[in-house]
Amino acid sequence: MKIASATDVMARRNEIIRQALGLDYETFARSPLRFDYEALMDSVGHSLGEVHRIQGETGVGRTPLLELRNITALARELSPAGKGARILLKDEAANPSGSFKARRAALAVHDAARRGYRGVVAATSGNYGAAVASQAAMRRLSCIVIQEAFDSRGLGQPEILEKGRACEAYGAEVVQLTVGPELFHVFLAVLEETGFYNASLYTPHAVAGIETLGAEIAEEVRTRYGRDPDACVITHAGGGNVTGTARGLRKLGSVRTEIVGVSVDLSGLHMASDRDFNRKSFTTGHSGFGIPFATQPDRVDVPRNAARALRYVDRLVHVTQGEVFYATEMLAKLEGLERGPAGNTSLVAAFVLAQRMNEDQLVVVQETEYTGAGKHPLAQLTFARQNGVEVRRGDPRGNAPGRTIVIPEGPHQLTVTEIPLEELRSSYIRNAIRASGMKAIDREDLAFLVEETRAGEPFVRIALAHLEVSIAA
């Protein structure tokens, strides 16, 4: 495949995306700052029940909700009297491609087939590529997955290579690149040359597909326990998981469930850095995506990101790599479930939060993912050592991203670090104003920023005053 020059392709960016989605994002713009988010989501054109039906055609969804009895008992041993919420787990590894990403892919690939596209393209190094490839195979469409897989030495991160193998197993063509800015350019060039559908992670279809996950959690918890979950703990990276799950819970009326986003703390590692690329020990649910995508969500491969984490998250916490490895072993040895790192990121936080909640409360770990050769802790930790990262047991507070992975010696050492949402909200407002170029906004723009940040109007007004942005009366 011959790739056109970056300059030529980027000049045609908007038209390429429009042709590859059949969706004109300009119709949702209301000002240089504001767009109609709910209209964007409504453009999917399917009710929640219809999305369930579409996903069911390819065996997606209706995954088991499991009570982690042994892990709950362990949490209660560490809790004060009367504390220790029940911990439930939605086993999304039961989906055809082994992760919740099948929900996103099912709706996107269905839309591509309905619109008459011959194939789909996705730019992702994660589970989503395998999900798109799996769904494309079922719908008899061609599939191309583009991955950032290697550093400049030609070394590939085991988890990424495992996911590339999975994509190829489903019949996809996998284009693997070194880390750097060429990913988006190559993605656009492939879309233009093939005329395939843009199965982006960040379209309204991809996010609407996750709404069924939130809805199923609400339905199943109510049926089994006669109440709504008190907290839903969700691994947070690009924001789609938080957004879609929270929207699904809300659509079923579960509005009091606390939404907790969880990311692995990789502070100090730059995701576009050749040196840092292979100094992270797994690629999912980390702060290198979680923070930037919360504060600048539209820096993606479509004009407007349907994933808007700050609209939905009630709390955001960080855990360490070592704690996720510990939770992976804990889940396998106490519950007989060997699962990959993404859902176990949430499991760390759920285990900690359960100890602070009452015994009669319910906390849901919102997903699991499959594990495999490259995703297994042994492969990840071996690769870390090969890249000069020290791996040892001890207090996880000694974790130093890219330098040291500290695996806890016992469950009592698991903890979470709260991330102040006020800082993220201020950062979002600053980024949004800068991108818009506006120094004066109207009341509707103000209301949009309030919705985007869930910060309250007084907070937004103060942030705008610091930026010397005026608000029309």
Split at pLDDT 50, 70, 90, the class of 270 is: confident
Q: What is the mean pLDDT of residues 386-408?
A: 96
Contact between 127 and 93 under an 8 Å Cβ cutoff? The reply is no
**Number of Cβ atoms within 10 Å of the Cβ of 272:** 12
pLDDT for residue 13: 87
pLDDT tens digits, one per residue of 177-194:
999 888 888 999 999 999
Q: What is the DSSP letter of 404?
A: E
Structural domain count of the chain: 3
Q: Please identify, among 144, 179, 204, the residue that sits at the C-terminal boundary of a domain.
A: 204
If asked whether residues 243 and 331 sit together in one domain, one would say yes
The token duo for 229 is: 């979950």
CA 45, 49, 55, 57 torsion: positive or negative?
A: negative
Q: Give the domain-ending residue among 180, 204, 228.
A: 204
Q: Which residue, 204, 236, 267, sits at the end of a domain?
A: 204
Here the CATH number for the domain that contains residue 319 is 3.40.50.1100
- Over range 372-384, report the average pLDDT: 92
In a domain, 286, yes or no: yes
Q: How many angstroms separate the CA atoms of 200 and 179, rounded?
A: 19
Q: What residue has token string 């692995």? A: 264
List pLDDT tens digits, range 317-332.
999 999 999 999 999 9
Domain shared by 350 and 262, yes or no: yes
117 and 33 in a single domain? The answer is yes
Per the domain annotation, does 1 fall within a domain?
no
Is residue 412's pLDDT more than 90?
yes
Residue 311 pLDDT greater than 90, yes or no: yes
The DSSP code sequence of 203-254 is: SHHHHHHHHHHHHHHHHHHHHHHSS--SEEEEE-SSSHHHHHHHHHHHHTT-
Q: Are 246 and 214 a contacting pair, CB within 8 Å?
A: yes
In one letter, which amino acid is 59?
G
| Paired residues of 86 in beta bridges | 362
Q: How far apart are CA 288 and CA 265, in angstroms?
A: 8
Neighbours of 69 (CB within 10 A): 12
* Letter string b/e over residues 72-110, b meaning 16 or more CB atoms within 10 A of that residue's CB: bebbbebbeeebbbbbbbbbbbbbbbbbbbbbbbbbbbb
- How, if at all, do strands 315-319 and 258-264 pair? parallel
Average pLDDT over residues 357-365: 98
CA–CA separation, 450 and 471 (whole Å): 13
Count Cβ atoms within 10 A of the Cβ of residue 116 and give its class: 0-12 exposed, 13-18 middle, 19 or more buried: exposed
Q: Is 363 part of a structural domain of the chain?
A: yes
Phi, psi angles (nearest 5°) of residue 145: -115, 130
Are 238 and 352 part of one and the same domain? yes
Establish if 362 belongs to a structural domain: yes
**Residues 260 and 368 grouped into a single domain:** yes
At 329-354, the pLDDT tens digits run 999 999 999 999 999 999 999 999 99
For residue 138, give the amino acid letter. M
Map residue 217 onto helix, strand or coil. Answer: helix
The residue-averaged pLDDT of 269-288 equals 86
Q: Range of 315's domain?
A: 61-97+207-418
Distance (Å) of CA 378 to CA 200, 278, 323, 373, 407: 31, 16, 15, 9, 13
pLDDT, tens digit, 9 for 90 and up, residues 62-93: 999 999 999 999 999 999 999 999 999 999 99
**For residue 329, what are its two tokens?**
């072993």
- Is 23 a member of any domain? yes
Please tell me whether residues 443 and 355 are part of one structural domain. Answer: no
- The angle, 0 to 180 degrees and rounded to 10, between the axes of the packed helices 341-354 and 321-335 is 90
User: 117 and 10 in one domain?
Assistant: yes
Structure tokens at 109: 């690939």
Give the separation between CA 249 and CA 419, rounded to whole angstroms: 23
Residue-level pLDDT at 73: 98
Domain-located, residue 381 = yes
Residues 256 and 382 in one domain: yes
Instruction: Say which amino acid occupies 233.
Output: V
pTM of the model: 0.97
Coarse DSSP helix, strand, coil percentages of the chain, rounded to the nearest 5 percent: 50, 15, 35
Same structural domain, 355 and 450: no
The answer on 160 and 93 residing in a single domain is no
Pair 120, 232 in one domain = no
Burial class of residue 388 in the structure, from the number of CB atoms within 10 Å of its CB (0-12 exposed, 13-18 middle, 19+ buried): exposed
> Do 148 and 288 reside in the same domain of the chain?
no
Question: Quick one: pLDDT at residue 3?
Answer: 65
Number of helical H runs and strand E runs in the chain: 18, 15
For residue 192, the model assigns a pLDDT of 94
Collapsing DSSP states into helix, strand and coil, what is residue 293? helix
Q: Which two tokens stand for residue 222?
A: 């109510």
